[in-house]
Amino acid sequence: MATRNIVKVGDDILRKKSRPVEKFDKRLWQLLDDMKETMYLANGVGLAAVQVGVLRRVVVLDCSQDRSDYLELINPEIIDTEGEQREQEGCLSLPGECGITLRPAVVRVKAQDRDGNWCVYKGEGLKARCFCHEIDHLDGILFTDREIKDVSEIQNETGSGQ
């Protein structure tokens, strides 16, 4: 395994749409292994291939405190959502920047594993946000595009508009 450089905001690649993975081979497995190492070293909870300069629909994530829930998602698709949550997000490609976004509270994702087998995953809370955030990266969308900019929106919805 090896770490890869994380692409930062301002690089045009972050706004490009990633292509589906068609070959499940050693090259893909190396990318997955490198992304895992890079994500953990950067203390992130998720990383999309585009963030290491590869325009493929590949995501790794681990939202657990003890780093015991590592997942690899290849060609992921959100197939169902429930509820909503407004929480703070950050991004390894936008160091030092964070903001409040509106995301589903529960998300179901269909994706392939490193061998090409289809699986369905369910995420709630942080994991749901992470699924959405990383899949957005695959479509050239940054969390700042979904950021709630108007503080009165949050205050009005929470009932604390003072």
Alpha carbon separation from 140 to 23, 70, 94, 117, 122 (Å, rounded): 22, 23, 14, 25, 23
Looking from the CA of 66 toward its CB, the CA atoms found within 13 Å total 1
Which residues carry out catalysis? 134
Which pair of tokens denotes residue 132? 């959405």
Identity of the amino acid at 77: E
Phi, psi of 137 (to 5 degrees): -55, -35
